[in-house]
Amino acid sequence: MKYTNLPHTDIKVSKICLGTMTWGNQNTQDEGFAQMDLALDKGVNFFDVAELYPVPATAETYAETERIIGNWFAKTGNRDKVVLATKIAGPGDYTAHIRTTGFSKKALNEAVEGSLKRLKTDYIDLYQLHWPERETNTFGQRDYKHNPNDKWEDNFNEILHNLDKIVKSGKVRQIGISNEKAWGTMRYLQESKQHNLPRPITIQNAYSLLCRPFEGDLAEIAHRENIGLLAYSPMAFGVLSGKYIKGNAADNARLKLFPRFARYSSEQATEATKRYLKIAEDNNMSLAQMSLAFVNERPFLTSNIIGATNLEQLEENIDSINISLNDDVMKAINKVHASIPNPAP
């Protein structure tokens, strides 16, 4: 395994992070336990979860993933071996069963306390805001379209002040943001600098061969402000395994169970995937390992959040850390990207 530090800290994390959002839906508790055992054995010390998980989010399965992790901590005593990240859900129709109060003081306190209880721990290493409260182009929306009727009011300072109290209580060590854009990222950094408030040290956004918008303004911010990318969906919901275009996806594959998550299955995304598959096969790699190795080697990456529904997938994904892509492979990848840029933003 390879390791780095969370930016601005001495907290060492593996460059592969264990994603967990299938546990409690596609995966049972026992399967989640087995994944955590294997990941830890292979040097993965960084786990990412959210109160929202498992996804798709429902009232019946709310926060089940956190409960599974908490039960594993209780069973194994491994809490001190894991750097643990979780998130408060942002507002939206699909989170109304959780709360409708956004990132208010009451919401933050309630969410942190709930996560601590379910995770059976007295501290969270990295606490993240799952997506912005304001209306912006997240989750597959390519361009920003301003809504003059958006009722959101600037509350970056208020959120950081409330998080400051939680950090000082010892319940949270560091904070991060997720599904955020360049403007929101800089506003958080501006407020933290000007008012000596907690600084977001990571940004968890989608990033893969099919989704590279982070390489625009956010990549410059990541480098110049030292805020590290936690890349999620590096396998594009399993599309970048090649199993859908090969026709050998299992019945419990994510896009078979939940076809509404179709942003990675457009005609352009499918054509790009076919081209990436050929590059991988021509260079004696699986598409999964090439896709993950590409993300692992990005200079703005802090950790690559991988997920799997079985141990064989998980082991292959973790082992991508041992693969380096040569210049010829990178040239071929970037040729596809130039021809079909960001088909699944």
pTM: predicted TM-score of the whole model, two decimal places: 0.95
Domain ranges in the chain are 3-238+298-323
Residue pLDDT tens, the chain, 345 long:
999 999 999 999 999 999 999 999 999 999 999 999 999 999 999 999 999 999 999 999 999 999 999 999 999 999 999 999 999 999 988 899 999 999 999 999 999 999 999 999 999 999 999 999 999 988 878 899 999 999 899 999 999 999 999 999 999 999 999 999 999 999 999 999 999 999 999 999 999 999 999 999 999 999 999 999 999 999 998 999 998 887 766 665 665 556 656 678 889 999 999 999 999 999 999 999 999 999 999 999 999 999 999 999 999 999 999 999 999 999 999 999 999 999 998
Cβ-Cβ contacts under 8 Å for 77 (sequence gap 6 or more): none
Residue of 3, 53, 188, 276 marked catalytic: 53
Residue 301 in tokens? 């990456």
Tell the CATH superfamily of the 3-238+298-323 domain.
NADP-dependent oxidoreductase domain (3.20.20.100)
Residue 127 among the catalytic residues? no
